[in-house]
Amino acid sequence: MKALSLPPRLLMGPGPINCYPRVLQAMSTQLVGQYDPVMTAYMNEVMALYRQVFNTQNTQTLLIDGTSRAGIEAVLVSCLEPGDKVLVPIFGRFGHLLAEIAERADAEVHTIEVPWGEVFDPEQIEQAIRKIRPKVLALVQGDTSTTMLQPLEHIGAICRQYDVLFYSDATASIGGNPFETDAWQLDAVSVGLQKCLGGPSGSAPVTMSDRFVDCVRQRHHVEAGIRDPHHKDASGSRIRSNYFDLPMIMDYWGDERLNHHTEAASMLFCARECAVNLLEEGQQAVIERHKMAGVAMLAGIQAMNLAPFGNLKHKMNNVVGVYIPMGVEGEQIRSEMLNTFNIEIGTSFGPLKGKIWRIGTMGYNARQDAVLHTLQSLETVLRRAGHKLSPGAGVDAAMDVYAKAIA
């Protein structure tokens, strides 16, 4: 068998992106047992680290062993009983995903939509809440399908007013854009590692407020094979998934240490390094680095005679949509970027399929050199494909952004 061997791609799409080297190294750490005091101490440390990442005091802050949508499903199937009402404002692909997961839980799903490239006003959401009176509001923060960032800071107060549980999936945005679980009064948040946190896909950090925990604890049933004879199950309906049963997962991460799954230790080490990396550099500094890379990339794109997609006022720091210009073949350009320059930029789907590329500047790759290499290579490929541009203008515009920041 050939040894594993991968080309040195620079991943400038909407994620996954290149991991921080220390995150990759952490995964090579040899294991200890799942109930080894060293392991449980690291589990506790990871909980504490992600409280900082999420900016929360929530005790229940832990990892779901799966990709980011595993975190989404764990939150939704644990809190939604059949017939429960949920409101999902949709501004891109991942809103559809939240609605679909809630539908499969047999919740009564209500959706409102804005065109791709826009976000919701708090008033629109309040109006829908007042009409529908849902148990849960499920709202994506950053949707890579459209590059938009939904403002969340005024939504929590509305949810409290109408006694609605407020859940957000912040996979695409966390680390590269502000996120304040407690200040914004969120009840549940799920994310992944593979965007601005600079890790691989495969672990989904989740945090839950006490209100949310009270809600899911009403459905607490201990697994038959390990049940204490004196245990009394809660009165709520049993959660339909064993794997995503948050009360059981809390009992595994908590002092009870009741056996559930076997924690994916390598992914836990990796999640730890993602958090440490963010916190050592400083959350604000990392957000600034993402903002700078995003502004520079946007400036470069515009200077190359390319038009950005969507409402730029609400663009995430870490990804930009770029209209594929007339006369060039979008997939051809992507393929040349990949094969000639080892740089990946993203395609699109749904209503934007074939219309825009998506270019990310996330995590480890939210760096000046990564931005500049991408712009230079894109210029070369576009120029040779016949797109009219002023040579050097793109990279110069991006360098100006960085130069001004230093000055």
Cβ atoms of residues 187 and 208 within 8 Å: yes
The residues, any chain, with a CB within 8 Å of residue 262's CB and separated by 6 or more, are: 34
Chain positions 186 to 205 lying near a second copy, rule: CB under 8 A, are 192, 194, 200-202
Binding of residue 285 to a second copy (CB under 8 A): no
Nearer to a second copy, 341 or 402 (CB): 341
Other C-beta atoms lying within 10 Å of the C-beta of residue 98: 27
Smallest distance, Å, CB 38 to a second copy?
A: 6
Stretch that binds a second copy, among 97-105, 121-129, 133-141, 155-163 (CB under 8 A): 97-105
Burial per residue of 61-81, b for 16 or more beta-carbon CB atoms within 10 angstroms, e otherwise:
bbbbbbbbbbbbbbbbbbbbb
HSE, CB side, 13 Å, CA atoms: give it for residue 163: 2
Least separation, in Å, of the C-beta of 153 and a second copy?
26
Residue 204, judged by CB atoms within 10 A of its CB (0-12, 13-18, 19+), counts as buried
Is 266 near a second copy (CB under 8 A)? yes
Binders of a second copy among residues 24 to 83 (CB under 8 A) are: 24-34, 36, 38, 42, 65-70, 73, 77
Map tokens 């609400």 to a residue. 314
- Residue 269 interacting with a second copy (CB under 8 A): yes
Which positions from 137 to 156 touch a second copy by CB under 8 A, shown as an x/- string?
Answer: --------x-----------
**Amino acid at residue number 363:** G
Among 112, 132, 243, 312, binds a second copy (CB under 8 A): 243
- Between 1 and 406, CB nearer to a second copy: 1
Q: Are 204 and 190 in contact (CB under 8 A)?
A: yes
Q: Which of residues 351-390 bind a second copy (CB under 8 A)?
A: none
> What CA–CA distance (Å, rounded) separates 258 from 174?
30
Instruction: Report the residue number, 9 or 154, with the smaller CB distance to a second copy.
Output: 9
Considering only residues 47, 164, 267, 295, which one is a binding residue for a second copy as defined by CB under 8 A? 267
Cβ atoms < 10 Å from Cβ of 367: 14
Alpha carbon distance 71, 313 (integer Å): 29
Site size toward a second copy, by CB under 8 A: 84
> Is residue 358 part of an annotated ligand binding site?
yes
What is the smallest separation between the CB atom of 92 and a second copy, expressed in angstroms? 8
Contact between 219 and a second copy by CB under 8 A: the answer reads no
Q: Is the dihedral of CA 47, 159, 168, 219 positive or negative?
A: positive
Q: Does 235 bind a second copy (CB under 8 A)?
A: no
Indicate which single residue of 273, 320, 366, 387 sits in contact with a second copy (rule: CB under 8 A).
Answer: 273
Annotated binding-site ranges for substrate: 358
